Amino acid sequence: MTRVSEAAAHWLGLCRKAPVFHAAPALMLFGPGTAHAARPGGSGSDPGPGRVRHGIGIATASIRTLFREKHLLWFLLLAGLVLVFLFAAEGWSVTHTDSLPLLSSIWIPSGNSGLILFSMRLFLIEAVCISCFTGLLAAVVLERNAARTTVPVTIRKACAGAVAHAFPLAALSVLMAVAATVAFELLSQSQFLGRIIFSLDMAFFNLPYAYYVPAGISAMYYFSFKIMAINILLFLLALYVVPGMVLEGKGLPTALAGAVTLMKKTWRELVGCTLVLGAIVLCTGAAGLLIGQSPQLLNHDYDFFLQLSRGQVLMTVACYGFLLTCFLLMAAGYTAAGVAVSDLYHVGKSEGLSGTPDGSMKKTEHAS
Q: How far is CA 155 from CA 35, 341, 344, in A?
A: 36, 18, 21
- Measured at the alpha carbon of residue 285, what is the angle toward residues 280 and 308, in degrees to the nearest 5? 125
- Length of the chain as a residue count: 368
pLDDT confidence of residue 105:
62
Positive or negative torsion for Cα 333, 150, 46, 360: positive
Q: Which residue has the higher pLDDT, 275 or 202?
A: 275
CA–CA separation, 256 vs 260, rounded Å? 7
**Pairing mode, strands 2-5 and 10-12:** antiparallel
Look at residue 139 in the predicted model and tell me its pLDDT: 92
Task: Compute the average pLDDT of residues 101-113.
Answer: 59
What pLDDT is attached to residue 315? 92
The pLDDT tens digits for 206-230 are 888 888 888 777 778 778 888 888 8
- Kindly report, residue by residue over 4-36, the tens digit of the pLDDT: 344 443 334 444 444 444 444 333 333 333 333
Q: What's this model's pTM, rounded to 2 decimal places?
A: 0.73
